[in-house]
Amino acid sequence: MSRRHLFLALAALALALPPLGCGGKWNDPAIPASPQNDIVPFAVGNRWTYVDSTFNRSNGAFLATDSTRWDVTRHELLEVSGRVYDAWDYTRVHPVTGVADTASLVLGAIPNGLYLYGGRSPRGLYLPGRRLLYRYPANLNDSWVVNELTFDGSNWNFSSDSIYQCSAPATTFDSPRLGNVACTEYNHGYYFFYANDPNHSHRFDRRSYYKPGVGYVGMVEVLDGVVIHTRRLKQFVQLATAPAAASRPDTR
């Protein structure tokens, strides 16, 4: 994957949906942290560090390991798709130097899932509208359309439509520090052809794992039945305590 992805998990973004609930806006005072039952617990200063492992595409042999870190770097109230939401900048940070990328995704967690609002870069704030990333809670085989958002150094670009699906509402995923974590599994899978071999299809699947109160626990990428990439949560640093969920309107 040669493009610079700014995603959770991969990372991944979704079809714009109309505002949920009744019409009008809500303009509550700024909330310092999102409720703990949200799919991702947002608060400025929260950070997630992952261990990434890559494997040979032919035989699954281990190749290399690396680290990935994402921080919540900003909070503000933003009007998106005609309503005002708590919005959080979600920024990739170098796990050793602590230097942050110049561009961030702008995300939000409401009672029915994780949403993309847009992105922030040196050129300013980009708010194309609210788009679903991961539905929570989700039922087995629930599906929705997702688009990945990338920043090429000058502009934000959406990928073509992809289908995301809840493949296991309740499962476990192994984390180096947390052990077997109870979470929800989501799958993004599709068939494709290599340009030099148009007669044989190949299957790619990315299985992402989320736990409310913790967020993105990790993922597994599989090509033609062979695991080629894993990402597992190594450390979650939570620097703020969230208020009760009742302190915020239910916008389902």
- Looking at every residue in the chain, the average pLDDT score rounds to 84
Reported as a pLDDT band with limits 50, 70 and 90, residue 35 is low
Answer whether 72's CB lies under 8 Å from 42's CB.
yes
Segment 74-98 shows an average pLDDT of 95
pLDDT of amino acid 6: 43
The pLDDT tens digits for 102-113 are 999 999 998 899
Per-residue pLDDT band for 239 (boundaries 50, 70, 90) equals confident
Mean pLDDT of all residues in 71-87: 95
Per-residue model confidence (pLDDT) at position 219: 98
Which numeric CATH code is attached to 47-245?
Answer: 2.40.360
Q: Residue 109 forms beta bridges with which residues?
A: 114
Token pair, residue 75, equals 């909070």
What was the pLDDT predicted at 226? 98
Closest CA to 146 of 182, 105, 189: 189
pTM over 0.85: no
Q: What is the pLDDT of residue 159?
A: 83
CA pair distance 103, 222, nearest whole angstrom: 28
pLDDT of res. 161? 87
91: pLDDT strictly greater than 60: yes
Position 177 scores a pLDDT of 78
For 183, counting Cβ atoms within 10 Å of its Cβ (0-12 exposed, 13-18 middle, 19+ buried), the class is buried
Q: Report domain extents, the chain.
A: 47-245
Q: What is the pLDDT of residue 66?
A: 96
Q: Which amino acid is at 132?
A: L
* Alpha-carbon distances, residue 97 vs 48, 65, 89, 139, 185 (angstroms): 15, 18, 20, 40, 32
* Residue 94 identity: H
How far apart CA 160 and CA 166 sit, in angstroms, is 20
Residue 145 pLDDT:
95
pLDDT in tens, 147-206: 888 999 899 999 888 899 999 999 999 998 789 999 999 999 999 999 999 999 999 999
Q: What are phi and psi of 20, to 5 degrees?
A: -90, 155
Peptide bond into 128 cis (omega under 30): no
Instruction: Please give the helix or strand (H or E) that residue 211 lies within, else none.
Output: strand 197-211
For the chain, give the percent of residues with pLDDT over 90.
71
pLDDT digits (tens, 9 = 90+) for 92-140: 999 999 999 999 999 999 889 999 999 999 999 999 999 999 999 999 9
